[in-house]
């Protein structure tokens, strides 16, 4: 049984501009019947990133680490897990980040190809295949976009 299954945890949100993380109050505690609102940073009012329960915020002064986390976020990679084994290794330096994103990209392309090869039997399998392929396509696009973005900021990656 997964650790997070026992209790509803408050999401770990982060503001990349302020380099701060916040735990959001659960809607059930505040306004159970209200609408779901986008969580904004209490300091700068920009929407925050929901990074997952395993996210541990670096100190505010660790600019590079925050930039790495923001880059992962833009590429669709967060710190969500079921609470048992953690989200797995995450890169901390720009060089490791690029290698990590490239590996993730290859994985996503492979997974998508695997799904493409499956011959679906029946409606439900067709639906599963379509949604899996759409999800891997989104991953591929997000990671490729982020890699391209980082490619143009070479000077920022060094030093
Ligand atoms: Zn902020």
Predicted TM-score (pTM) of this structure: 0.76
- Out of 40, 74, 108, a domain closes at 74
Q: Are residues 66 and 102 in the same domain?
A: no
Quick one: which of 81, 75, 123, 128 has its CA closest to 98? 75
What residues are neighbours of ligand 1 (ion), with CB under 5 Å? Answer: 15, 17-18, 41, 43-44
Residue 12 alpha carbon to ligand 1 centre in Å: 14
The answer to the question of residue 65 being in a domain is: yes
The answer to the question of residue 87 being in a domain is: no
Residue 18 alpha carbon to ligand 1 centre in Å: 4
The whole-angstrom separation of Cα 144 and Cα 101 is: 9
Tell me which residue range forms the domain holding 123: 94-157
Tokens 């079921």, residue located: 82
The answer to the question of residue 81 being in a domain is: no
How many domains does the chain fold into?
2
Q: Are residues 63 and 104 in the same domain?
A: no
Residue 21 alpha carbon to ligand 1 centre in Å: 9
The whole-angstrom separation of Cα 131 and Cα 138 is: 11
The answer to the question of residue 82 being in a domain is: no
The answer to the question of residue 80 being in a domain is: no
The answer to the question of residue 136 being in a domain is: yes
Residue 120 alpha carbon to ligand 1 centre in Å: 46
pLDDT tens, per residue, the chain with 159 residues: 455 555 556 678 999 999 999 887 655 555 566 666 678 899 999 999 988 877 889 999 999 999 999 999 999 988 776 666 666 778 888 889 999 999 999 999 999 999 999 999 999 999 999 999 999 999 999 999 999 998 755 545 444
Residue 29 alpha carbon to ligand 1 centre in Å: 23
- Out of 17, 46, 74, a domain closes at 74
Residue 137 alpha carbon to ligand 1 centre in Å: 30
Q: Are residues 104 and 151 in the same domain?
A: yes
Q: Tell me, what's the pLDDT at 157?
A: 46
């Amino acid at each position: 049984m997964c650790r997070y299954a026992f209790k509803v945890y408050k999401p770990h949100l982060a503001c990349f501009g302020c380099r701060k993380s916040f735990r959001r109050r659960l809607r059930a505690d505040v306004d159970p019947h209200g609408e779901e609102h986008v969580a904004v940073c209490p300091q700068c009012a920009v929407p925050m990133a929901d990074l997952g329960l395993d996210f541990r915020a670096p100190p505010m002064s660790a600019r590079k680490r925050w930039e790495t986390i923001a880059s992962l976020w833009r590429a669709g990679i967060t710190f969500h897990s079921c609470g048992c084994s953690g989200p797995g290794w995450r890169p901390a330096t720009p060089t490791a980040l690029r290698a990590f994103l490239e590996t993730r990209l290859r994985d996503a392309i492979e997974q998508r190809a695997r799904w493409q090869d499956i011959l679906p039997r029946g409606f439900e399998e067709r639906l599963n295949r379509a949604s899996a392929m759409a999800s891997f396509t989104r991953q591929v696009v997000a990671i490729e976009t982020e890699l391209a973005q980082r490619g143009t900021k070479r000077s920022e990656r060094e030093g």
